[in-house]
Chain A
Amino acid sequence: MRFHTLQELARLCDQEGVTIGELMLAEQCRESGRTRELELRKMTDYYLIMKQAVSEGLKEDHPSRSGLTGKDARQVHAYLQREAEATLAGAPAAAAMAYALAVSEVNASMGRIVATPTAGSCGIIPGSFVGSQTRFGWSDEHMTMGLFCAGAIGYVIANRSFVSGAEGGCQAEVGSAIAMAAGALAELRGGTPAQAVHAAGLALKNTLGLICDPVGGLVEIPCIVRNGFGAVNALAAADMALAGVRSAIPADEVVDAMREVGAAMPEKHRETAQGGLAATPTGRRIMDELYRRNSSS
């Protein structure tokens, strides 16, 4: 890849007069040696799996293996259909929330999803993309280019910092996914590469310090609802950037800050289920019940 920072990415796009998605696609072909058509098809297939996961998740409840979660997506979706005008966040935000919850619940039930960048954060991109696609009448081809844009932003974050909760906490997973979605949505709505990078920087600032504290070690509590919130934040960050708000701390420096914060995070807050929500009285009780059940079965 010819870029290692978000600033380089935006500058290359400006110099060559292409979108971030287009640049990423060309770079990907160079790296893999495969044709543009093959790489496009692979990404479109991934988008179709994401849409499938949204509709699966809304069609029926998806109880997880633990039985702890799996009903929230349908609750939010039903609420939205009952009183769309009355939702506080507004219908598009509530839809993104329902879709993101749906994909995360499919994930927790060992259903099929696409990691974006991880499975723990797999609801945020589909959640914020699918609703926007319907609203603005975008084609699957347009959404596919959005995924290449999201991938370019994630590529920089993953190589400069991290994208796993075990290394860098939830900020690295959910935070990265929101930044990727925000940048891509800004570009899909016609924003410049610089605006897309600001959207990513703005989004990432909002999750700095978020710990990874899954109850019982499961990708369920609080991961699923954090995906619901994440999809809404992605829309908000894209809107801020499209309105002209800039990330006062350049996005690359925010990525570096995330690495510094993640490296300093105690091990109990990095996906070990030893701290945070996992260590609350209720979190511990759930874990005890779970393991008692597992050892007796």
Chain B
Amino acid sequence: MRFKDVFSIIGPAMVGPSSSHTAGAVRLGRVARQLLGCRPERAEVTFYGSFAQTYLGHGTDLAIVGGLLDYDTDDLRIAHSLSHAEAAGIRVELRQGTGPAPAAHPNTARIRCFAPSPSPADGSQTAVSMIDRIEMIDMTGMSVGGGTIEIARVDGFPVRFSAVYFTLVLWHSDRRGLIAEAAGLLYRHNVNICSMETGRKERGGDALTVFETDAPVPDSLLLGMKALAGVRAMRVVNLGDRTGE
């Protein structure tokens, strides 16, 4: 089921003109931002398929940059996001993808975003991202219609999540028992897992696990997760909160 609830059909509330090319694009940018864990200093956005053909007319560029600013889909500032990004010191490069899209959907974007050099006064980082800095996120996502998205790839790992649920992304090493320990932590905090997937680059090498959960992941749980041997970094993706800068 690509569409899981009534509000993926009626909704989102959004600024126009296109749910797939504007609202979905805002969400793609926002997921990339939340995976990075802070305001990026630089972002490279590559459009494929229909995104590449029509992004200018739909404001897909404005939308993805709005997402990188952590705007929600109905934020009227999206119409001027490029100047807001410039004011915030974010350099944005837009490209039209050549060759086949890295995901099998006509509305695909690849977003690479880079964290700024650490600064003790940087208030844009959350408590969690302070403890596990991520230099760069390389994410490919699809906008599958009606503002619904599907993330297809993170840092070279094939994944599949929609950011409809509370989502916890864990970068770790391929170690026996680590997933059981992580799932145990969720269990002990009374958080139900509604889907999960894991993948590794090679035996004993880098791995990535995505948990989708029914309840928000409390900070205390994140600290416990961080303490597990082999966990390099983690991020919570939650598009339900209204924030934006």
Contacts and interface: CB of A to CB of B under 8 A. Distances in A.
Interface stretch (A11-19, A78-86, A229-237, A271-279): A271-279
Given A112-B76, A162-B145, A166-B50, A270 B106 contact: yes
B214 interface: yes
Given A115-B14, A119-B23, A155 B144 contact: no
A28 B146 contact: no
Nearest to A64: B17
A208 interface: no
A290 to B, nearest CB: 7
Given A112-B74, A158-B3, A158-B146, A46 B18 contact: no
Contact of A31 (B5, B15, B20, B76): B5
A109 B18 CA distance: 11
A147 interface: yes
Given A166-B49, A220-B17, A294 B9 contact: no
Task: State the majority secondary structure of interface residues on B.
Answer: mixed
Contacts of B23: 115, 119
Contacts, number: 178
Nearest to B20: A164
B146 A151 contact: no
A148 to B, nearest CB: 6
A117 interface: yes
B59 A118 contact: no
B89 interface: no
B10 A150 contact: yes
Nearest to A290: B57
Contact of B53 (A108, A117, A217): A217
B34 interface: no
A111 B53 contact: no
Contacts of B53: 217, 272-274
Contacts of B76: 110-112
A111 B49 contact: no
